[in-house]
A and B are shown apart, each in its own frame.
Chain A
Amino acid sequence: MSQYASFRAMHRRYVHRWLLVIPFIWQIGLTPLVNTASVRVFSLPLPMVWQMAGILVATAVIGFVFWRDERIEKELGLTDDRDAEGLS
């Protein structure tokens, strides 16, 4: 396999990392859309509930990415000491 092809293969494996963009979209990008005083969730202001939900979303996303990473690295037989992301 050429160096370029192995580079491509490595990147395909880690494509789930793009999920890490979701918390930024949730907690920053969508902030203007939920900035309304007319909706209260259990008496709480909507923008506040939104940001708290964002923390749960972030945890779920990071947790999922962690789980995938661990599985991939186990499949590849990589230990903590070995580089798994193609970092130098």
Chain B
Amino acid sequence: MTLVLTFGIVLATMIGAMLYGHQKSKAKTVSEWAVGGRSFGTLIFWFLNAGEIYTTFAVLGISGYAWAYGAPAYLAFTSVSLAATLGYWLMPRIWQAGRQGGFITQADFFAARYKATWLGCLVGLAGIAAIVVYVQIQITALSLILRLTLGTEVSVTAAAIIAAGIMLAFVYVAGLRSAAFAAGVKDVLMIVLVVGLSATVAGKVGASSILDVFARVQDQHPGIGVFPGLVPEAGLTVTWMMTAALNVALGTWIFPHMFQLCYAAGSRKAIRRNAVLQPIYSLSFFFIILLGFGALLAGVSPPGGDVNAALLQFVSDAYPAWMIGLLAGTACLLALVPGSVLLLTAGSIFSRNVVMPLKPDLSDRASLLVSRLSMVGFAAVAVWLTIGATSSLVEIGLAAYAAIGMLAPGVFLAFLWPRANAIGVAAGIGAGYAALLLPSAQSLWAALLPGWDKGLVAMGVNALVAVIFVLLTTRGGGREGAR
């Protein structure tokens, strides 16, 4: 029952998406395939955007965080509204630059704005690295669901490989338009599920109402509703919340797939209206946190104490088999939609910004092939990262934001400071990676700025070094790099 429903949902959506994608556009060029022909209306754009934000990170990760830590799950409430607030200002700029320059990838933007193909190449690789970490979230979740539905006799490795295979199959067929269709299906299913689960959760855990779930969980677990939450040793303090929220807001549009999504918008108005509408959708994180708290009251114990499995375990303990099938199928789509868009983006960056500069005579058809083949490699790296790791989806997510934060100063300086140049941006990226990855730097930040999100600290170092290098390498009052 569970198995049939799970795969029924995924297969039906895939077939629908393929038909939709084929009918809408017969993708012949990279441009058609990757940015959907630059003609998305508000509605499709909104669904596609929502699909990017309502991921496994949100649903499985945040419910698990609420179950394990409590208050730190509120991070979800800031993730969409602050990104949209910043995006209202930033996205039209990206959109306009993309239209004027005919860009397809984020690295195109860097290469053109900073007049340096080598910077485009560097930025392309940095973007791909962050995407691979983000794909790891989706693969972790998909393999979790596969093991839940197929049984734990399927090894973690096998489940991760199958998950990557499904994701690649999803993306090969039609490109961005099929993701838009699947995002629509997924959003409808998600609403049905959240309403169904939330309406019944109180009865399942012996509470009289939804609000009573919150009253009981706070009575039984004092401190759960405020920072630092249930596990103070985890260091999820108010400071963590503030810095992580800021880093997520600053990083959201810098992800290459989000950047590229701005290019795909049909008009400035569509982008702006989307920024107004998007935050409201994120109020539904209330229900995700409710379910996490419900799982805690029900005393669920997921296999191996896996934080990511708390919601799935709760539903499989307390609900009939069709419900877990519905949840598992929807959760598969939650992972597949962004996963496929992410791989698509990584593939087009690789062919355009890493291979093309080395082999400029590549035909459109050949570059499409390179882009499709490279995705197999990126999926493989993500599988490899998944296998050794046991982190919470939220932690992997914050690691991805830390990785993409390396490109944020370059984007903001591009729009704010005509003097900014390639040398400065590259120096900033180098310093940022050092601040993020060197163990000695890590212990320095732990002592100087306890509780701070690592990504934000590294982004600050990056920005500071970038500004210093720009000041050193350009003359004051000069207009180098001005547009």
Known contacts A27-B78, A47-B71; decide if A40 and B483 are in contact (CB<8 Å).
no
Q: Which of B35-43, B84-92, B316-324, B384-392 contacts A (4 or more CB under 8 A)?
A: B84-92
User: Which residues from 282 to 306 on chain B have a C-beta closer than 8 Å to any C-beta of chain A?
Assistant: 282-283, 286, 289
Name the contact of A45 in the complex, choosing from B82, B89, B225, B241 (C-beta under 8 A).
Answer: B225
Number of interface residues of B (CB under 8 A): 47
Return B66 CB to nearest CB of chain A, in Å.
10
Contact string against A for B residues 222-234, beta-carbon threshold 8 Å, 1 for contact and 0 otherwise: 1111110000000
CA of A70 to CA of B269, assembled, Å: 9
| CB pair B93 A40 closer than 8 Å | no
Return B309 CB to nearest CB of chain A, in Å.
23
Taking CB atoms, residues of chain A closer than 8 Å to B269 are 70, 80
Check A20 for interface membership: any CB of B closer than 8 A: yes
User: Which residues from 36 to 89 on chain B have a C-beta closer than 8 Å to any C-beta of chain A?
Assistant: 71, 74, 77-78, 80-82, 84-86, 88-89
Residue of A nearest to B280 (CB): A59
Residues of B contacting A: mostly? helix
Taking CB atoms, residues of chain A closer than 8 Å to B238 are 31-32, 35
Known contacts A27-B77, A47-B71; decide if A59 and B272 are in contact (CB<8 Å).
no
Taking CB atoms, residues of chain B closer than 8 Å to A27 are 77-78, 81-82, 245
Check B373 for interface membership: any CB of A closer than 8 A: no
Taking CB atoms, residues of chain B closer than 8 Å to A23 are 81-82, 85
Return B327 CB to nearest CB of chain A, in Å.
24
Return A48 CB to nearest CB of chain B, in Å.
6
Residue of A nearest to B75 (CB): A51
Check A42 for interface membership: any CB of B closer than 8 A: yes
Return B264 CB to nearest CB of chain A, in Å.
15
Taking CB atoms, residues of chain A closer than 8 Å to B81 are 23, 27, 54-55, 58-59
Return A20 CB to nearest CB of chain B, in Å.
5
Check A76 for interface membership: any CB of B closer than 8 A: no
Return B147 CB to nearest CB of chain A, in Å.
32
Known contacts A35-B226, A43-B214; decide if A80 and B283 are in contact (CB<8 Å).
no
Check B242 for interface membership: any CB of A closer than 8 A: yes
Number of interface residues of A (CB under 8 A): 40
Return B34 CB to nearest CB of chain A, in Å.
23
CA of A36 to CA of B100, assembled, Å: 50
Check B22 for interface membership: any CB of A closer than 8 A: no
CA of A48 to CA of B280, assembled, Å: 15
| CB pair B241 A31 closer than 8 Å | yes
Contact string against B for A residues 13-55, beta-carbon threshold 8 Å, 1 for contact and 0 otherwise: 0000100100110011101100111001011111110011011
Residue of B nearest to A83 (CB): B96
Residue of A nearest to B244 (CB): A28
Check B198 for interface membership: any CB of A closer than 8 A: no
Return B14 CB to nearest CB of chain A, in Å.
33
CA of A87 to CA of B414, assembled, Å: 12
Check B267 for interface membership: any CB of A closer than 8 A: yes
Residue of A nearest to B269 (CB): A80
| CB pair B78 A62 closer than 8 Å | no
Known contacts A42-B211, A47-B225, A52-B77; decide if A66 and B282 are in contact (CB<8 Å).
no
Check B215 for interface membership: any CB of A closer than 8 A: yes
Taking CB atoms, residues of chain A closer than 8 Å to B279 are 55, 58-59, 62
| CB pair B82 A40 closer than 8 Å | no
Residue of A27, A69, A80, A84 with most partner-chain B CB within 10 A = A27
| CB pair A45 B85 closer than 8 Å | no
Taking CB atoms, residues of chain B closer than 8 Å to A42 are 211
CA of A31 to CA of B71, assembled, Å: 12
Known contacts A37-B226, A45-B226; decide if A28 and B289 are in contact (CB<8 Å).
no
CA of A43 to CA of B283, assembled, Å: 17
Check B395 for interface membership: any CB of A closer than 8 A: no
Name the contact of B272 in the complex, choosing from A37, A61, A69 (C-beta under 8 A).
Answer: A69
Name the contact of B275 in the complex, choosing from A37, A48, A62, A87 (C-beta under 8 A).
Answer: A62
Name the contact of B276 in the complex, choosing from A36, A37, A66 (C-beta under 8 A).
Answer: A66
Check B313 for interface membership: any CB of A closer than 8 A: no
A-B contact pairs, 7 of them (CB 8 A): A31-B242, A37-B223, A42-B211, A44-B214, A55-B80, A80-B267, A88-B96
Given A47-B74, A48-B74, A55-B283; 9 other pairs, CB 8 A cutoff: A24-B85, A31-B245, A35-B227, A37-B226, A46-B226, A55-B77, A59-B276, A66-B275, A83-B96
Q: Which residues of B contact A (CB under 8 A)?
A: 71, 74, 77-78, 80-82, 84-86, 88-89, 92-93, 96, 100, 211-212, 214-215, 218, 222-227, 238, 241-242, 245-246, 249, 267-269, 272-273, 275-276, 279-280, 282-283, 286, 289, 483
What 10 A-B pairs are tightest by C-beta distance, nearest first?
A: A45-B225, A51-B77, A58-B81, A43-B215, A43-B211, A80-B267, A23-B85, A88-B483, A37-B226, A27-B78
